[in-house]
Structure 1
Amino acid sequence: MRSNALARTLVSVTAVAALAAGGLATAGTSFAASAPAVSGQTVSILATNNLGLSTLQAKYVQCFLRGAPASYTGSIDGQLGTNSWKAMQRHLREYWDYNDNIDGDPGPNTIKALQRMLAFGWNYTDKIDGDPGPNTRAAFKRFANDFAGLYPCS
């Protein structure tokens, strides 16, 4: 009798454990099924970096970049994306000692050259360190606003 009770207890414990495991397994799949789907657009890399400029200010910069040697041929949409930054890098290479790849990524070397340019005529007085901090962003806004007369450009 004692062995019969022990067997029932073991079967009961095994059944409870199996139910719990099954419940956890289905909880995972039911949670996954109810989770919102993520589209490829949601996961894509941010394609623009206006460094704090408004859309209108970014349009001013794009109009400026239409001039040689920057040769920006993209749309004037106020979004400083890869093509805008490639044009900026070409401009910085020509005049402000940018010596890295023309890749459209406003990384530290691009920002250093931008800071050298902004120090020349847009009251940037901070370090040339490649960090687009608040002083860099403020000077970049002054730069953009200086080209307001170019917009709309063709």
Structure 2
Amino acid sequence: MKSHFVLALILLSAATIVSCKSSKTLKTVNPEDKPQMVASPQVIIYKTRGDYFLHVPVTLSEDRKSLAAYPAPQDVFYKGDLAYPVRLENGYLLDRRGISPSSAFIKLTYYEYSRLENTPRAEEIIKMILDDDPFTIMYQCGPKHSYRDIENELNDIIRKGEEVNFEKLK
């Protein structure tokens, strides 16, 4: 019985090895032949009409009359801290939460929102909107992975007035 088990195991192993071998010759892929695709969030910098630094952003529909997305209280953190934007040169803010030109800010601060026991209903969030068109300017600055020291690099670009070379979203 033991010899049948060993023989079956050997045959199964051999079948696996033979079936996995390709009949084609493997070609070595040169990394320069194909661009590497790296998933990375886009860097967004912006300015607002008012001081919404402490306030939670939500995403409105295109007509700005309903909500497209909003966070749960536990989603207003970035790497364990509240996801306040980063203050940059010349009044720009660096997003850490995920905003877009269709974002708006609600009256609750990140701290207040993070302390809620339940996620508010969409109807409640709509009533909390402070400004449904808060942005004066917004740029998409490329993928996050393309920066080594994002804050210093962006501040240098802003000091030189080169932020206008980024893709203007608003």
Q: TM-score, normalised on structure 1?
A: 0.27
More helix by share: 1
More strand by share: 2
Higher CA-based Rg = 1
Higher relative contact order (CA 8 A, sep 6+): 2
Q: TM-score, normalised on structure 2?
A: 0.25
